[in-house]
Amino acid sequence: MINDEGGTAGGSRIHEAVFRVRGARLDSLPEQDVLAEETPVALEYNGIAYATMLATPADLEDFALGFSLTEGIVEDLAEIYELELESNQAGVIVRLEIASERFVRLKARRRALSGRTGCGLCGIESLAEALRPVPGVPQGGRVPLAAVLSAMHALRARQPLHEATGATHAAALAATDGSLLLVREDVGRHNALDKAIGAAARDGLLRTGDAAIALMSSRASFELVQKTAVSGIGVLAAVSAPTALAVRLAEEAGITLLGFVRGEGASVYSRADRLVTE
């Protein structure tokens, strides 16, 4: 069972022969280092292969649930009847059984995601599919700016896999008071957000609206705004910059998008009126 803190089991491994360079000189003796794992993860729906992504092999149930929701494969977790994992030498297969109506729609969409690490649009067959419309998020519920800054500060101490390897991204969901509800890590930022959203959906945090802020230890790309919008979360905060397309989508969906959230500073690119600054 995976708990709300997320799991790092299987997410890293020890590499025995790392030679350090210090003072421009190569050490003669090797040292150990901890490396982040990335593994092919194949998603199958009703027995049909749909997508293969490179992901960190931890919290894969959350990943499959979040991916299914944010990619529009299902609209509710009740439409997923079964989920099982099978590991082999090649990677991990995640098998999901979904409602017949959703599976018919899935076959009509036909995607083939050949998984580059962190790629959110690999293999999409049409521009219309890549830029699919997203629902507008609920406009109620203002969020204190101080809560966003506090949550981002807290996120830095909740990334054990990144602390060990320096090679992963983190996604977190926070409440309106800035308290972190859950954190997930992955080599791909999109995968990390899918894991967080999947865990939140499983625990009912999206339905209740408790998850008011999404936080990313990365830049804010278009796909991350898409996933945030589909989840109904009104605020997306990122450590680095957004893209222009991400800002346009955030404005369209009514999402408050912040970039460069570091210390006491940030840049607000859309819907600043949602933030309470007093």
Write the DSSP assignment of 133-160 as a string of letters: --PPPP----EEHHHHHHHHHHHTTS-H
End-to-end CA distance of the chain: 42
* CB distance 244 to 259 below 8 Å: no
Which of 130, 156, 185 marks a domain boundary? 130
Q: Is residue 19 part of a domain?
A: no
CA distance 27 to 40: 34
Task: Return the pLDDT at 45.
Answer: 96
What SS3 state is found at 64?
Answer: helix
Task: Return the pLDDT at 119.
Answer: 53
Which residue's structure tokens are 């901890």? 34
Dihedral pair phi/psi, residue 13, rounded to 5° = -150, 160
The residues that bridge with 51 in the sheet, in sequence order, are 43, 113
Q: Which ranges of 28-96 does DSSP label H, i.e. alpha helix?
A: 60-70
Which of 130, 164, 181 marks a domain boundary? 130
Q: Is residue 24 part of a domain?
A: no
* CB distance 229 to 249 below 8 Å: yes
CATH number of 155's domain? 3.40.140.10
Domain span at residue 112 reads 39-130
Which of 92, 107, 130 marks a domain boundary? 130
For residues 244 and 157, state if they share a domain.
Answer: yes
CB atoms within 10 A of CB 31: 11
CB atoms within 10 A of CB 18: 13
Per-residue pLDDT of the chain (278 residues; tens, 9 = 90+): 223 456 656 789 898 889 889 898 999 999 999 999 999 999 999 999 998 999 999 999 999 999 999 999 999 999 999 999 999 998 999 999 999 999 998 887 754 444 444 454 444 444 455 556 788 888 777 999 999 999 999 999 999 999 999 999 999 999 999 999 999 999 999 999 999 999 999 999 999 889 999 999 999 999 999 999 999 999 999 999 999 999 999 999 999 999 999 999 999 999 999 999 97
Task: Return the pLDDT at 73.
Answer: 94
Q: Is residue 27 part of a domain?
A: no
For residues 43 and 147, state if they share a domain.
Answer: no
Q: How many CA atoms lie within 13 A of 74 on its CB side?
A: 21
For residues 125 and 171, state if they share a domain.
Answer: no
CA distance 227 to 208: 18
Q: Is residue 14 part of a domain?
A: no
CATH number of 76's domain? 3.10.20.10
Report which of 182, 152, 143 is spatially closest to residue 272, judged by C-alpha positions: 143
Task: Return the pLDDT at 134.
Answer: 80
Q: Is residue 138 part of a domain?
A: no
Task: Return the pLDDT at 278.
Answer: 74
For residues 114 and 190, state if they share a domain.
Answer: no
Catalytic amino acids? 119
* CB distance 130 to 124 below 8 Å: yes
* CB distance 83 to 95 below 8 Å: yes
Q: Is residue 23 part of a domain?
A: no
For residues 68 and 189, state if they share a domain.
Answer: no
Question: What total number of domains does the chain contain?
Answer: 2
Q: Is residue 151 part of a domain?
A: yes
For residues 170 and 230, state if they share a domain.
Answer: yes
Q: Is residue 227 part of a domain?
A: yes
For residues 126 and 147, state if they share a domain.
Answer: no
